[in-house]
C-alpha cells in the first residue's frame, strides 16, 4: 500500500527523509482518473527511481470552464489501487487550501507559446498548469518528473520553465498511449456516449492521414466535431476538437498530436 499524504507538510517530511538517505525520487503529477496513459508514466518512473511519488489533484486554476472542472471524473479509491499495483511509494492528494495558501495570488506565467494552440481557446490554462507544477516540484523535490506527450504543449512549457528557472530536475517525456482504434487515452473519454466514443478515433485517423491542416480541419468538421484548431509546428501536428456526444449532453474537448 502506498503512503497517502494529504498535505504539503507530510509530503515534505517524507521527501526530506528520502533525499537525506540518498534515495532518488521520481514524480508523476496527475489529476487522477488513472488510465493506461498515466500507468505508462508510473511504470517509467518505477524503473528509473528508488522512490515513486504520484500526485492526484484536480487543479481548479487550470480549468477555464466551470463545467469541465465540475464534470472531471474522480475515482480516487480505484486510483490508489492502481498506484499500489504499480509499486508507487507515495500518493500526494492535497486540498485546494493546502496547496494554494495564497489563494492563487502568485501566478507563474509564460508569455508566448502558452498563448497559442490550447492557450488561445483556454485563457489562463497554462498559467494554472505551470503554477501548480512549480508548487508540486517544490514540495516533492523530484530528481525526475514524468509527463506525457499527449499534452505536448504542456510538456514543452514545463521543460521551458525548468530551464528558465534553473530548476534542478530532469523532465522525462513519455509517448502517447492509445486505444486499439487509435484514440489517445484520456480521463475525459469516459464522458463520451456510445456515438461519441465511436466518432472519437477519427481525430487520430484524420490528423495522421490528411495532407494538410486545412483538409484535416474540413474532414473533422464534416465528421461532426467543432474544431478548435489543427496546426502544424515543426514536425508535429496538433489538434483540439469539441463534441457534445456525451452522456450528459455537455461539451467535451479532446486533444491529440502526431509526428508528421
Ligand atoms: P492528467 O491527469 O490528464 O493531468 O495527465 C497526467 C499526466 O499523464 C500528463 O503528463 C499527461 O500528459 C499524461 N497522460 C495523459 N494521458 C496520456 C496518454 N494517453 N499517453 C501518455 N501520457 C498521458
Distance (Å) from CA 256 to ligand 1 centroid: 11
Predicted confidence at residue 252, as pLDDT, reads: 96
Distance (Å) from CA 232 to ligand 1 centroid: 21
Going by the DSSP 8-state scheme, the letter that residue 192 receives in this structure is: B
Predicted confidence at residue 113, as pLDDT, reads: 98
pTM score over 0.85: yes
Predicted confidence at residue 69, as pLDDT, reads: 96
Write out the E strands in the chain: 3-5, 25-30, 51-56, 90-92, 144-148, 170-174, 226-233, 236-243, 252-259
Predicted confidence at residue 176, as pLDDT, reads: 98
Percent of the chain with pLDDT over 90: 100
Q: Average of pLDDT values for 139-155?
A: 98
Predicted confidence at residue 64, as pLDDT, reads: 93
Distance (Å) from CA 32 to ligand 1 centroid: 10
**Cell triple for residue 15?**
521527501
For the chain, what is the mean pLDDT? 98
Predicted confidence at residue 168, as pLDDT, reads: 98
Q: Average of pLDDT values for 217-225?
A: 98
Q: Which residue is catalytic, options 38, 97, 125, 247?
A: 38
Handedness of CA 84, 88, 92, 93 (dihedral sign): negative
**Cell triple for residue 246?**
456525451
Q: Average of pLDDT values for 179-200?
A: 97
Q: Average of pLDDT values for 147-166?
A: 98
- Whole-angstrom distance, CA of residue 172 vs CA of residue 13: 25
Q: Average of pLDDT values for 108-126?
A: 97
Predicted confidence at residue 121, as pLDDT, reads: 92
Domain 187-259 maps to which CATH number in 3.40.50.150, 3.40.50.1000, 1.10.760.10, 3.30.1300.10?
Answer: 3.30.1300.10
Label residue 248 by pLDDT band (50, 70, 90).
very high
Distance (Å) from CA 21 to ligand 1 centroid: 30
* Closest-CA residue to 137 (of 115, 170, 114): 170
Q: Which of 150, 177, 182, 185 is the pocket-test mutation for ligand 1 (most atoms within 8 Å of CB)?
A: 150
Residues whose beta carbon lies within 6 Å of some atom of ligand 1: 30-31, 37-38, 40-41, 147-148, 150-151, 174, 176-177, 184-187
Percent of the chain with pLDDT over 70: 100
What are the sequence ranges of the domains in the chain?
Answer: 3-174, 187-259
Superfamily for the 3-174 domain:
HUPs (3.40.50.620)
Q: CB 231: neighbour CB atoms within 10 A? A: 17
Q: Which of 26, 36, 38 is the pocket-test mutation for ligand 1 (most atoms within 8 Å of CB)?
A: 38
Q: Whose CA is nearest to atom 12 of ligand 1?
A: 148
**Cell triple for residue 171?**
523532465
Q: Report CA dihedral (167, 121, 146, 238) to the nearest 10 degrees.
A: -120
- pLDDT tens digits along 149-158: 999 999 999 9
Residue 125 a catalytic site member = no
Predicted confidence at residue 128, as pLDDT, reads: 98
Going by the DSSP 8-state scheme, the letter that residue 1 receives in this structure is: -
Going by DSSP bridges, is the β-strand pair 170-174/144-148 parallel, antiparallel, or unpaired? parallel
Amino acid at each position: 500500500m502506498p503512503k497517502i499524504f494529504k498535505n504539503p507538510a507530510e509530503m515534505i517530511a517524507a521527501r526530506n527523509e528520502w533525499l537525506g538517505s540518498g534515495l532518488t525520487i521520481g514524480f508523476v503529477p496527475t489529476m487522477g482518473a488513472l488510465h493506461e496513459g498515466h500507468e505508462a508514466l508510473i511504470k517509467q518512473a518505477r524503473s528509473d527511481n528508488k522512490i515513486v511519488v504520484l500526485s492526484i489533484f484536480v487543479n481548479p486554476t487550470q480549468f477555464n470552464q466551470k463545467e469541465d472542472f465540475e464534470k472531471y471524473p474522480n475515482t480516487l479509491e480505484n486510483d490508489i489501487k492502481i498506484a499500489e499495483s504499480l509499486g508507487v511509494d507515495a500518493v500526494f492528494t492535497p486540498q485546494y487550501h493546502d496547496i494554494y495558501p495564497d489563494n492563487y495570488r502568485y501566478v507563474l506565467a509564460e508569455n508566448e507559446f502558452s498563448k497559442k494552440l490550447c492557450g488561445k481557446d483556454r485563457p489562463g490554462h497554462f498559467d494554472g498548469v505551470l503554477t501548480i507544477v512549480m508548487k508540486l516540484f517544490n514540495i516533492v523535490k523530484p530528481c525526475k518528473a514524468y509527463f506525457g506527450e499527449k499534452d505536448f504543449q504542456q510538456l514543452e512549457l514545463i521543460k521551458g520553465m525548468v530551464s528558465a528557472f534553473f530548476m534542478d530536475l530532469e523532465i522525462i517525456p513519455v509517448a502517447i498511449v492509445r486505444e486499439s482504434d487509435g484514440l489517445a487515452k484520456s480521463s475525459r473519454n469516459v464522458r463520451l456516449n456510445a456515438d461519441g466514443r465511436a466518432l472519437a478515433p477519427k481525430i487520430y485517423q484524420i490528423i495522421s492521414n490528411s495532407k494538410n491542416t486545412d483538409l484535416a480541419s474540413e474532414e473533422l468538421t464534416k465528421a461532426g466535431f467543432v474544431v478548435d484548431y489543427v496546426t502544424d509546428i515543426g514536425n508535429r501536428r496538433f489538434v483540439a476538437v469539441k463534441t457534445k456526444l456525451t452522456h450528459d449532453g455537455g461539451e467535451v474537448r479532446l486533444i491529440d498530436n502526431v509526428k508528421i
